[in-house]
């Protein structure tokens, strides 16, 4: 059997390694087939992946939390001055601190725990402000004036209370040791109340913002 040379066209017997006319090799080895091109993703999928942003970690950003809590506290002080009870004022402060923090950090994931911590921070700041005001007030008053002012407040409270132990509190308040004890206890209770009410407000704010986001 013969076949034409692929180069010059001359007849060459099968099995002959080279053409007798042009010396072109007649035994050719087939190379590997070209690989199929990799499938490309649709343009819509590429845009979807490009626009995907990983969720932010659930951590409290202190540089944004402190201004948010401070502004919320100023609003709560105004509400308390116009007649709102202190507990409701701190509740509103905790709620507002979460709202302001969410606006300053739009991509932050504000969980209930973060909201409670932000509210607690607002409560601590509120207690610090109240303690500073009390310290300034006592700095310009004598011990007797301070005692009489608090005694008048307790007497007014006892007049509207049916607690039978209020008379014992009044008697304890008239002693130096009792006066010191009641003042320290009042400060501790104020701190606890501020933190509880503001933390509750922060938790409610985080819960409502989470529902709105969904």
HEC letters along the chain? CEEECCCCCCEEECCCCECCCCCCECCCCCCCCCCCCCCCCCHHHHHHHHHCCCCCCCCCCHHHHHHHHHHHHHHHHHHHHCCCCHHHHHHHHHHHHHHHHHHHCCCCCCCHHHHHHHHHHHHHHHHHHHHHHHHHHHHCCCHHHHHHHHHHHHHHHHHCCCCCCHHHHHHHHCCHHHHHHHHHHHHHHHHHHHHHHHHHHHHHHHHHHHHHHC
- If you average pLDDT over every residue of the chain, what do you get? 80
pTM over 0.85: no
Which pLDDT band, with edges at 50, 70 and 90, does 52 fall under? very low
Cα–Cα distance for residue pair 192/187, rounded to 1 Å: 9
Looking at 52-56, 68-72, 177-181, which range is the least confident one?
Answer: 52-56
The pLDDT tens digits of the residues spanning 119-164 come to 999 999 999 999 998 888 888 777 777 777 777 877 777 777 777 7
Give the orientation angle of helix 86-104 with respect to helix 112-139, to 10 degrees: 130
Instruction: Locate 66 and state its tokens.
Output: 């402190």
CA distance 48 to 42: 10
């Amino acid at each position: 059997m013969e076949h034409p040379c692929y180069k010059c066209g001359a007849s060459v017997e099968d099995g002959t390694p080279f053409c007798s006319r042009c010396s072109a090799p007649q035994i050719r080895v087939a190379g590997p087939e070209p690989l199929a091109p990799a499938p490309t993703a649709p343009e819509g999928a590429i845009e979807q992946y490009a626009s995907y942003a990983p969720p932010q970690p659930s951590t409290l950003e202190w540089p944004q939390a402190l201004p948010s809590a401070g502004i919320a506290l100023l609003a709560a002080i105004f509400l308390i001055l116009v007649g709102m009870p202190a507990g409701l004022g701190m509740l509103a402060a905790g709620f507002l601190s979460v709202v302001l923090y969410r606006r300053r950090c739009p991509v932050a994931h504000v969980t209930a725990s973060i909201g409670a911590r932000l509210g607690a921070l607002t409560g601590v700041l509120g207690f610090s402000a109240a303690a500073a005001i009390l310290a300034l007030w006592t700095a310009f008053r004598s011990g007797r004036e301070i005692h009489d002012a608090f005694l008048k407040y307790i007497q007014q409270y006892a007049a509207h209370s049916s607690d039978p132990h209020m008379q014992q509190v009044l008697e304890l308040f008239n002693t130096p040791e009792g006066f010191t004890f009641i003042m320290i206890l009042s400060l501790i209770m104020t701190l606890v109340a501020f933190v509880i009410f503001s933390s509750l407000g922060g938790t409610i704010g985080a819960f409502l913002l989470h529902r709105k986001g969904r």
